[in-house]
Structure 1
Amino acid sequence: MATITFKDNPMTILGTEVEVGQKAPDFSVLANDLSEYRLADAKESVKLISVIPSIDTGVCDAQTRRFNEEAGSIDNVEVLTISVDLPFAQKRWCAASGLEHLQTLSDHKDLSFGKAYGLVMEELRLLARAVFVIDTNGTLVHVEYVSEATNHPDYEKAIAAAKEAK
């Protein structure tokens, strides 16, 4: 498993780390209207999953905005931002930000996504920062675990992977 820190403090990571080439694990999270979102039920499109510790921080805000901006220029891509923020907070943030090319989802209820992708920082009950791209066949084609949770991911690599995925 990757070593992940938060403000230079090592974190205990719960769950199973995923790798490029494997089938993307299913998960269940909550949409802003409290409905269930399951990967297995999602439409057949490329998925760029942007994982953040909390929407209310500067790096997480910037990451979410960056992927929203890029999403409009990528055909057949669904951008999902997942955190453990409550759906109400995510909805309020989206309304205030005016973002329209992505969906925010909450893993607060049971950490289904975080455990399936090896991202739960046990000490904080937050998700570590990461980016995943899943092709239309459900295969992981890009995986990035950001080693320091307060750092930015490699936006260019993730965007290139989403554009190349079929």
Structure 2
Amino acid sequence: MSKVTLDGNPIELSGHFPAPGEYAPPFTLTNSALEEVKLESWAGKRKILNIIPSIDTSVCATSTRKFNEQASNLGNTVVLVVSADLPFAASRYCGAEGLKNVVTLSTFRNYGVQEDYGVAIQEGPLAGLCSRAVVVLDENNRVLHSQLVPEIKDEPDYDAALEVL
């Protein structure tokens, strides 16, 4: 179990957060067309998992926009935005913002993914959502970089995530 903070108050997470060198756990998530998709859907591609509490918060929206912008410059790389948001909410946001270089995915049918990636918020006002994290995977789903953002309201370290690619 890991701990992060929300406004400086400790928040307990459950599960194991993947470390560099480990292989990412497989997952099944729901896309904007309400289809179940698996990690292997992007086999052979490098993946940036931008894990966020909710697209409806300013920091989550900012990280999604920044990774969308950076993804256009990266070859053979996909940005997967993972949250507990309903698929239509995340898709609506990306459509309204003109974000075309990210894929939004929801944990709403597969909550276990939050535990598998060690980002399941167990207590406080955000219980049931994902904590903020970035996990970068190579073409074989080996973790190249992982950051569990210590303060949920802070942005991730974009440069560190992109440097490994």
TM-score (structure 1 length as normaliser): 0.93
How far did 1:9 drift? 1.9
Is residue 66 of structure 2 the alignment partner of residue 66 of structure 1?
yes
2:107 matched residue in structure 1: 107
Q: Distance in 2 between matches of 1:122 and 1:2?
A: 11
- CA drift of 1:17 comes to 1.9
Offset at residue 23 of structure 1 (A): 0.9
- Counterpart of 1:134 in structure 2 is 137
Question: C-alpha offsets along residues 13-57 of structure 1, whole Å, 9 cap, x if unaligned?
Answer: 121221110111101110001101111332310001101111011
1:145 equivalent to 2:145? Answer no
Name the count of aligned residue pairs: 162
1:84 match? 84
Question: Which letter does structure 2 place at the counterpart of 1:159?
Answer: L
SS at match of 1:4: strand
Residue 95 of structure 1 corresponds to 95
Q: Distance in 2 between matches of 1:42 and 1:102?
A: 13
- Compute the RMSD of aligned alpha carbons: 1.1
The answer on 1:35 being equivalent to 2:69 is no
Give the whole-Å Cα distance in 2 for the aligned partners of 1:97 and 1:73. 18
Name the SS of the counterpart of 1:156 in structure 2: helix
The whole-number CA distance in structure 2 between the counterparts of 1:18 and 1:66 is 23
Distance 1:115 1:13 in 2: 8
Q: Between the two proteins, what is the percent identity of the paired residues?
A: 38
1:75-94, Cα deviation, whole Å (9 max, x unpaired): 11011010100111111111
**TM-score, with length taken from structure 2:** 0.94
Name the structure 1 match of 2:8. Answer: 8
Alignment partners' CA distance in 1, 2:2 and 2:39: 24
Partners of 2:69 and 2:91 in 1: CA distance? 18
Contact 1:82 1:106 in 2 (8 A): yes
Distance 2:87 2:79 in 1: 17
Q: Which runs of structure 1 show a deviation greater than 2 angstroms over 4 or more consecutive aligned residues?
A: 40-43
Gaps of 5+ in 1: none
Does the 8 Å contact 1:48/1:78 carry over to 2?
A: yes
